[in-house]
Amino acid sequence: MKKLIPFAFIPLLWACTHSSAGISACIGRPDTRISILQLNATTQLLLDTLRTDALGCFDYTMRFKHDEPAFVLIKTDSAQVATLLLEKGEHVKLTVGTKKQHYTVEGSESARLLQELNSTFQQSVFRFDSLNRVLKEQEGATNYEAIYKQINLELGKVYVKQKRDALRFIYNYPASFASIAALYQKYPTGLPVFAADNDALYFKKLYDTLQPLYPQSEYMVVLRDEYERRMNAMTMQTMMEGVSEIDFPDLELPDINAKKVKLSTLKDKVILVYFWTSTSTAQRMENNDLRRWYDKYAEKGFEIYQVALDTDKPSWAKLVKAQNNPWINVCDGFGAHSQAAKLYNVTTLPSGFLIDKKGQIVAGQLSGKELEKKLATLLN
């Protein structure tokens, strides 16, 4: 384990500079040792240790090394006091209440949002723990099966409500680092609030919002890796489900009406899996070629499964409707990071893959005249 070296104590600058933030805190415990740590994406860094004065208060100035908000944990030797989200130039006043995990903050909107988020989650944790204690206490009861069923139903309601609350927070504050904390909430039992692989979309949306604002932040790397990991897990599951029936990577992506269409449902057809982006004028015009091929071969068992590698799904859907493309049009909104493109090892756009009526890929990475020529040999 890497040894954490505390910074030398720096007296509080009441007029915070653009590269620092001030903290004034009262915890009500005189002469108490305080540790101040910065919570990075994967590590904790001890910034300083100090002691409260005779009134149980202290002041601290935090220096910023990077141009992004910082998560700061304040703790005593025996308990966590508060977690703050600070930005340069702020001066935060922290007041700790008598109840565990209860504190108020002034002087920082980011810190206030994080406090609001944590407070709501702690209420959910309290309810979750209470129900689990009741369940444990009832072990051995004659009607334990009925009790177990009822309490698990209540636990499910607590979990669903917390996830909805967290999602509401993320959608209300998509440009706040506090939303990162919302995505990584976890109950004491180890259960993450966002536990499902299909929660990848929420990590992706937050990444897309924050990355342009903080392109060098290590949090962006963590968010990107997390949504890619979850997308890979979903893709692998899809492949395993169809492995005994098909000889090509299966896809299941949403169309312009958000209805998922599974590639493997197109049985006994010659299928063109066609990757493109609607942001390219040239590729939009190449849809004229697809229309010509579709009109010529559709009655002979030809279908197009066109995958847009776009991130702006509303604009993509609007274009598809305007062009009135009659084939299957799908897009997951992940752009170049789409797992569909990775499954087919797409290296250029546009790029077409032909699957014959036996379910075998007979040509790949084709476009234009080469694609048309291969298509003709399969359907003429």
20-26 and 91-96 beta bridge pairing: parallel
150-187 pLDDT per residue, tens:
888 888 889 889 999 999 999 999 999 999 999 999 98
Exposed, middle or buried by CB within 10 Å (0-12, 13-18, 19+), for 54?
exposed
Looking at 138-197, list the stretches that DSSP marks H as alpha helix, in order from N- to C-terminal side.
Answer: 144-172, 178-183
Domains of the chain, CATH where assigned:
20-107 (2.60.40.180), 114-230 (no CATH), 252-379 (3.40.30.10)
Integer Cα distance of 210 and 76 in angstroms: 32
Cα-based distances in Å from 80 to 36, 52, 54, 77, 96: 10, 15, 20, 8, 11
- Return the residue matching tokens 């509080």: 12
Q: What are phi and psi of 349, to 5 degrees?
A: -125, 140
Q: What angle do CA 162, 164, 166 make, to 5 degrees?
A: 70
pTM of the model: 0.60
| Structural contact between residues 134 and 151, judged by C-beta atoms closer than 8 angstroms | yes
83-97 pLDDT per residue, tens:
999 999 999 999 987
Which of 186, 234, 235, 179 is CA-nearest to residue 207? 179
Instruction: Give pLDDT tens digits along the chain (380 positions).
Output: 333 333 333 333 334 445 899 999 999 899 999 999 999 988 999 999 999 999 999 999 999 988 899 999 999 998 899 999 999 999 999 998 765 557 889 999 999 999 999 999 999 999 989 998 888 898 888 888 888 888 888 888 898 899 999 999 999 999 999 999 999 999 888 889 998 877 888 899 899 999 999 999 999 999 999 988 888 776 666 555 544 455 678 888 999 988 999 998 888 899 999 999 999 999 999 999 999 999 999 999 999 999 999 988 889 999 999 999 999 999 988 887 787 887 788 888 998 889 988 888 888 777 778 888 888 888 87
Find the helix packing angle between 368-379 and 281-297, rounded to 10°.
10
Residues in the chain: 380
Structure-token pair, residue 339: 């797992």
Structure-token pair, residue 96: 């700790």
